[in-house]
Amino acid sequence: MPAMRLIPPADCREAVAARLEIIERHRHLNAILGVNPGAMADAERCQRLRRGGAPIGPLHGVPLIVKDNIACAGLPLTLGCRALAGVRAERDALVIQRLRAAGAIILARANMSEFAFDVRSRSSLGGDVRNPLAPQLTAGGSSGGCAAAVAAGMADGAIGTDTGGSIRIPCSYTGLVGLRPAFRRRQLAGVAPLSLSKDTVGPMVHSVRDAALLHAVMLGERPAALAPRPVRQMRLGIVSSLQGDDDAQLRVWGRALERLRQAGATFIEVPLPILADVEAQSCLSMYEFHPAFGRWLQARTDAPSGLRQLVDGGEFLPEFRPLLEQMIAHGGLNAPEWLRGRRFQRRLRQALAFTADHYRIDAFLYPTARRLPVNLEKMPPGCAPELAAISGLPAVTLPCGVTGSGLPVGMEILTAADNDDVVLELACALEDALQ
């Protein structure tokens, strides 16, 4: 059983000072866009409360990293974009309010793929986020700064966003656990939008139990211990067509399945004919970003007045200009393609539920990404991350082994049940069995 790391430190000041030192030592990773100048003062306050015997929350004095598209009051909120370098958050996002109320200290803002567009994290403000395990490789995206920061020890937990795999892919590349929770629009208050029908916010940590703790706090619930099911009672659906063609990854994947089989898991090969349609889907953010982000800009006085003005100003990664122009040109939420995409979300959800019921499986199991990273450029992850992203169902990635070159391989668990606790309990049991 992996030890939980999100534990209130005995000395909050020492804990924060040590993490700030690690951030400074790892500047070459480009994981951090800026530290919170009030972090040490927050640590002093936490320590005074502890000394005074005041009741403390489950995250009292625990430093966290936050992706720079999630509002933290008084701090910049840039989405990695030069055009937004002067933007300041006026109030905390809902999830940040709840984390602070539980005692967490916001330590720093993480670099990300600009606007959260990509599966590798490159921004005009922060450059390329490098993988701490192999700095010549990408840490994935779009929450790559969060993943790199946690993997390098800058904090033991980070808060990222996941629209099409943006928590799970970086966690897979860096050997972390990441939860994409079931879609809940109310959780997104204070999060800069990419896709109103797919955006989620979730934890990036070292263990499933830490993920459950952070997730409960972000939901405004009292954290409770997970009750993992015995692996020998599990029926898991293997989707062979999602296993990819990376030989090094496949060797690790095969060994992981064998360990779970020895622990008593039952594997069932399940067909998913709908995968061809998943791969053919046009991304809903193509239609949702312009209206949603336009409203986000218009509500601010310290940002361009709209997406057109931002694009005309040119203060962003040039490679994103064609995409931004496309988004502006599309018909938004009136486009027939958007309506078809929304209908497909329901159809995919129904297909996954039917398959799970027909084969009597507890979850679907597949590698999080089709291939391992080979450089700083984006690696097409395949359509596996889109199963959860399009359906709105919860999924967890966890490390299931390491290649001969030292790169981790992520295992994704997706349930057809719209219940985060179910997928976390399954993932916790699998994590324990793989240790």
Q: Domains along the chain?
A: 12-219 (3.90.1300.10), 231-280+337-434 (3.90.1300.10)
| pLDDT tops 80 at residue 1 | no
| Mean pLDDT of all residues in 338-350 | 97
Q: How many CB atoms lie within 10 A of CB 134?
A: 17
- 94-138 pLDDT tens trace: 999 999 999 999 999 999 999 999 999 999 999 999 999 999 999
DSSP strand pairing (127-128 vs 122-123): antiparallel
Q: Are 435 and 1 in contact (CB under 8 A)?
A: yes
The beta strand positions in 279-327, using DSSP E, are: none
| pLDDT tops 80 at residue 31 | yes
Question: How many Cα atoms sit within 13 Å of 62 on the Cβ side?
Answer: 28
**51 conformational bin, left if phi > 0, alpha if psi -120 to 50, beta if neither:** alpha
Supply the DSSP symbol for 89: -
d(CA 294, CA 306): 5
- 280-335 pLDDT tens trace: 998 999 999 999 999 999 999 999 999 999 999 999 999 999 999 999 998 789 89
Residue 45, phi then psi, degrees to nearest 5 = -65, -45
Q: Which residues pair with 412 in a beta bridge?
A: 366, 397
User: What was the pLDDT predicted at 207?
Assistant: 98
Computed over every residue of the chain, the mean pLDDT equals 97
- 37-73 pLDDT tens trace: 999 999 999 999 989 888 889 999 999 999 999 999 9
d(CA 352, CA 358): 10
**Which entry of 142, 172, 195, 197 is annotated as an active-site residue?**
142
Is 67 one of the annotated active-site residues of the chain?
Answer: yes
**Which entry of 166, 195, 197, 207 is annotated as an active-site residue?**
166
Chain-centre distance for alpha carbon 426? 19
User: What was the pLDDT predicted at 430?
Assistant: 98
**Which entry of 67, 113, 124, 143 is annotated as an active-site residue?**
67
As a whole number of Å, the end-to-end CA separation of the chain is: 7
Closest of 402, 424, 407, 412 to residue 368, by C-alpha: 412
Is 166 one of the annotated active-site residues of the chain?
Answer: yes
Contacts of 252 (CB under 8 A, 6+ apart): 400, 401, 402, 403, 409
Closest of 33, 87, 126 to residue 305, by C-alpha: 87
Q: Are 85 and 76 in contact (CB under 8 A)?
A: yes
Share of the chain above pLDDT 90, in %: 94
User: What was the pLDDT predicted at 331?
Assistant: 75
Look at residue 379 and give its three-state secondary structure: coil
Place of tokens 């990408």: 138
Question: Would you state the structure tokens that stand for residue 321, as one six-digit string?
Answer: 């200009």
Is 143 one of the annotated active-site residues of the chain?
Answer: no
Closest of 226, 222, 31 to residue 145, by C-alpha: 31
| Mean pLDDT of all residues in 368-393 | 95
